[in-house]
Amino acid sequence: MRSAGELVVDRRVRAAEIGRFCSHIVCGPTASDCDIWTGAIGADGYGRFYLTREGAGLCVRPHRYALAIASGVVAAGVLGLHECDNPVCVKIADATEPHQHVVSGTQGDNMERMARMRRGGGRHAMRRFDSRGVRRARSVALREAVRYGWDTAAVQAALLGDQPTLW
């Protein structure tokens, strides 16, 4: 995807677009649960939301679109960062809530967090389970786990994937 330009979402003007967007979301039952994007997922494991604006097709990240719904506009260069580490989460939590999900940030913020979480970038070795293909498989499994409503056991299994457990 190309770099993030300004994204404006006027609730009155874009009501049908927002309705279509919301039809692809399954909300978790608790405040700490993610709201899962059930629409298109790219090869990188992140969602895709397709728009038509001024006669031209446009693809945006659903988590960034959710930020634009919440604030009306997301400036060029501002990204949606996943504090929950779930690339198909579109939940915009109030800043006062203890569990943050998608927040605004810069590419620098994103790279700093990626290094801190040891997902590559910088001097840290990349964690084995963060490869692009594994991330996509996990995102698709999450989408399928909630496609017909929230299924806690299926969500847990999708989040865990094939990682070994200690129990």
Residue 145 pLDDT grade (very low, low, confident, very high; cuts 50, 70, 90): very high
- Supply the DSSP symbol for 72: S
Q: Residue 40: which of 66, 57, 55, 59 has the closest Cα?
A: 59
Residue 2 pLDDT grade (very low, low, confident, very high; cuts 50, 70, 90): low
pTM: predicted TM-score of the whole model, two decimal places: 0.86
Residue 133 pLDDT grade (very low, low, confident, very high; cuts 50, 70, 90): confident
pLDDT of 11 reads: 95
pLDDT of 125 reads: 46
40 phi, psi to nearest 5 deg:
-65, 145
What is the spatial distance between Cα 15 and Cα 30, in angstroms, rounded to a whole number? 26
pLDDT of 165 reads: 53
pLDDT of 47 reads: 97
- Supply the DSSP symbol for 126: P
Exposure on the CB side of residue 19, measured as CA atoms within 13 A: 5
Residue 162 pLDDT grade (very low, low, confident, very high; cuts 50, 70, 90): low
The 10s digit of each residue's pLDDT in 35-81 is 999 999 999 999 999 999 989 999 999 999 999 999 999 999 999 99
What is the spatial distance between Cα 10 and Cα 81, in angstroms, rounded to a whole number? 22
Report, as an integer, the average pLDDT of 91-110: 87
Where is average pLDDT lowest: 50-54, 99-103, 125-129, 145-149? 125-129
108 phi, psi to nearest 5 deg:
-60, -45
